[in-house]
Every structure is written in structure tokens, then in C-alpha cells.
Amino acid sequence: MKITFPHMGHMNIVVKAILEGLGQEVVIPPPTSRRTLNLGMRHSPEFACLPFKVNLGNFIEGLESGADTLLMVGDSGKGSCRLGFYARIHQVILRELGYDFRMITLTNRSGNEFVGGLADLGRDKSRREIVSAFWLGWRKMRLCEGIERRSHRIRPCEVNRGETTKVYQQSIKMIDASENISRLREVGRESLSLLKNIKQDRSRRPLRIAVTGEIYVVWEPFVNLNIETKLGEMGVEVVRCLWLSENILHRIHLDFWNWRSKSRALKAAEPYLGYNVGAECNISVGNTIIAKQRGYDGLIHLMPFTCMPEIVAQSILPKVSRHYDMPVLNFILDEHTGEAGMITRLEAFVDLLERRRKRGTGYFKAVWMNLYLREKELERFGHSVIRQSPNGKLIMVDVSRESVWIVINNQTMRKTKKK
């Protein structure tokens, strides 16, 4: 059995490590490119969202490279968006195109069922071997994410443009090539020292912009036109809100200890969305609120054209942005999205955020975490940010040009000096 699967960020490194540990032969399709997209577009229904088209292109390229088995997530109609139907439709299209293959569909209903489906591929392996295959995959994923997060922090301060990207790519290649945990540890140390050695100008105070949206377009750099690297090279520190490991921890109900947890984002979105719309809709709304509470300067919302859950989020975000005084830039990505247009919009957004920072607006941060917005009071006080503390006191924060005013229960008033 020669298994192939679509690209999605670092997913190929992780899935390859697991499948090889389970004794399967893996055929990684060529990196997603314009050709992949064209192949997908040519054979997809026009209304399908961008991930469908790119995944189809990856499958075609994987089959052309010699694969005979396709691995896909989604279990025929179940799930919160069209993704649940994609495995079936891909199968029909590819068979009509004359490809002969077997399709393995992993459920996206629960983390346990997903892992169980994957572990089934190592039926002739011992339990110990299955566990070590998953452990290696997990450690590779965490290391890739750690290196990527660090590169996001270093890139805006690098002295020689492009150095961080080079080191980052080199580290990812080394992680992919490590065949066991001890080699992976060495690679981790090596990568960290390479990143540390990058010449940086620490006097810079880069803007911090959170990136959220539909998971596929946030993770896949070809599809989002490398937006994170572009921002980094414009001198912006990118804070990505969605990570594969957090997603897995959420699926198995273990994501409660950090701010990126999906459960926190879902909770934060509750005043705006009374139920879970599906995919990343509620998470996009919640992350916008959390990003403001953590003091980020702005947020970029990425979504594919015709993505149903993100269309809902997109319609709510202007309200959240107004309530929290949080600048939000939305990008709808499809096969026609041009790089020049994206750069122009990013430059304008960064310019706006720089001016806001100079003016002193929006510097308030972590103090207000764990407090939540009260819409009624917000309307009463106009543009100010109003929250209620856990002890029930109403707190209003008004960040004006010259000063920051804090009003507690509409009686106590304190003026603090601007930083």
C-alpha cells in the first residue's frame, strides 16, 4: 500500500512519521504549487471551496507520483461543514478521471475515533510500536510549531532580511529527516541555536498582529500567499491563533492550560454566538476578543471564498471590532487572489496600526484578561471598553488620546498616565 494525503502546513511531516512508524509506505505529493491548484480547479465543481480544489490537486499529484491509496479526513456527510462530503466527492471525481486507488477516510467527529482509525493502519504492529509511531509524530509536530512560533518573533527584528526564513526552512527539513526521538532532540537543540544566532535589532518594538480564520488557509502557506512571512518582513510579529497540536488537544478535551486553547475562544465568542456554528466560525470571533485582551495591535481574519462557517464569522467581526476597538482585516482567498493586492492591503493595515500605536490607543493588555464584555453598558458609554470583573464590579476603560481613564462601578474614577 502506497499512501498519499493532501498537504496542510506541517501535516505531511507528522502524518508521514506516524504512517512510516505503522509500517506503511508513504508518497508525499509535490509541495502545493500553481500546478496543483490548476489541476484541482480544472476538475472541481465551481462552487467548491478552495481547500477542496487544492486537496484534489494534491491527490492527483500524489497518484501521479505512484500512490495507490488516498488518506482523507471527513466521514461522508458528517461534520460541521462541507468537509464531511469531500472524501466522497474526491473519490467520484478521481474515478471518473480514470485513477485506480483505494480511499481511507478518517472520521472528523472525535479525536479518539480519528486516532483509532489511523492506528488501524498498523494492525500488524505491537501496541508499543503504535504508541512510539504516534509519539514521534506528536513530538515532530510540537517541535515544528515551536520553531515556527519562534521564527515569528525573530523575523521582524532580523537585521538581514530573509535569514530567519532560511533557518526556519533548514530546521523543518532536519525535523522531517529525524528518524527517532533522540535525533529529534538533537535537531531541536541545533535549530534553537541556529535561531539564536540570527542577528537581531532588539531595539525595535514590532507591531503584534494575530492571525485567525479557517484552519486550512491559516496553516497552508501556498494558499495564504505566505502572509505570515510577508508580515514578518514588514516588521510585524505574527501571533497565529490556530495550531495543529492545540486542535488535537481540543479534540481529546485536554486544551485548558493556554490562551490559544480552542475552548477559551469558544467561551469568549458566547456573547455573540449562542451555539457552535461549526468549523472555526466561533473560534474566529473568540480569538478576536482574546487578541484584544492580550494587547495585540490588530487581527487578520483569513477565509476561503464560499466558506460557509467563516461567512458567518465575517458578518459578526465588524461588531466585535467596534465593541472592542480592535482593528480587523479580512482576506477572502480563492484561486484569483493576487499577491500585489494582498501586499497593498497589508501595508495599509500596518500603517494604520502604527499610527494607532503612536496615538496611544489600544495599548491596554493582559490586566483585563478573564474579564468579559457587557454589551449593554458598552452602548451606554459609547466607545469605551467595558467589562465586568469576577467579583461583579463593573469596570470601564476609556483609552483616549492623552490618558487612560478607569471607572469602577461608575463612581470611582482614576486617571493613569499614558505609557
Kindly list the residues in this chain that would bind ligand SF4 in the complex (CB under 6 A).
49, 51, 81-83, 214, 216, 279, 304, 307-310
57 or 309, CB closer to ligand SF4? 309
Cell digits of residue 126: 505491537
Query: What is the DSSP track for 343-360?
Result: HHHHHHHHHHHHHHHHHT
Q: Which of 298, 294, 295 is nearest to 353 (CA)?
A: 298
State in angstroms the smallest separation of the CB of 89 from ligand SF4: 12
Could you tell me if 228 and 211 are in contact, meaning their C-beta atoms sit under 8 angstroms apart? Answer: yes
Which residue intervals of 200-243 are DSSP H helices?
A: 215-219, 227-233
State in angstroms the smallest separation of the CB of 280 from ligand SF4: 7
CA distance linking residue 279 with residue 276, whole number of Å: 9
- Count CA atoms within 13 Å of residue 380 on its CB side: 10
State in angstroms the smallest separation of the CB of 340 from ligand SF4: 24
β-sheet bridge partners, residue 2: 25
188 or 286, CB closer to ligand SF4? 286
State in angstroms the smallest separation of the CB of 261 from ligand SF4: 20
87 or 236, CB closer to ligand SF4? 87
Could you tell me if 74 and 85 are in contact, meaning their C-beta atoms sit under 8 angstroms apart? Answer: yes
State in angstroms the smallest separation of the CB of 141 from ligand SF4: 20
| Residue reference for cell 532536519 | 174
State in angstroms the smallest separation of the CB of 303 from ligand SF4: 7
Phi, psi for residue 372 in degrees, rounded to 5: -130, 160
State in angstroms the smallest separation of the CB of 48 from ligand SF4: 8
CA distance linking residue 218 with residue 288, whole number of Å: 15
CA distance linking residue 228 with residue 238, whole number of Å: 6
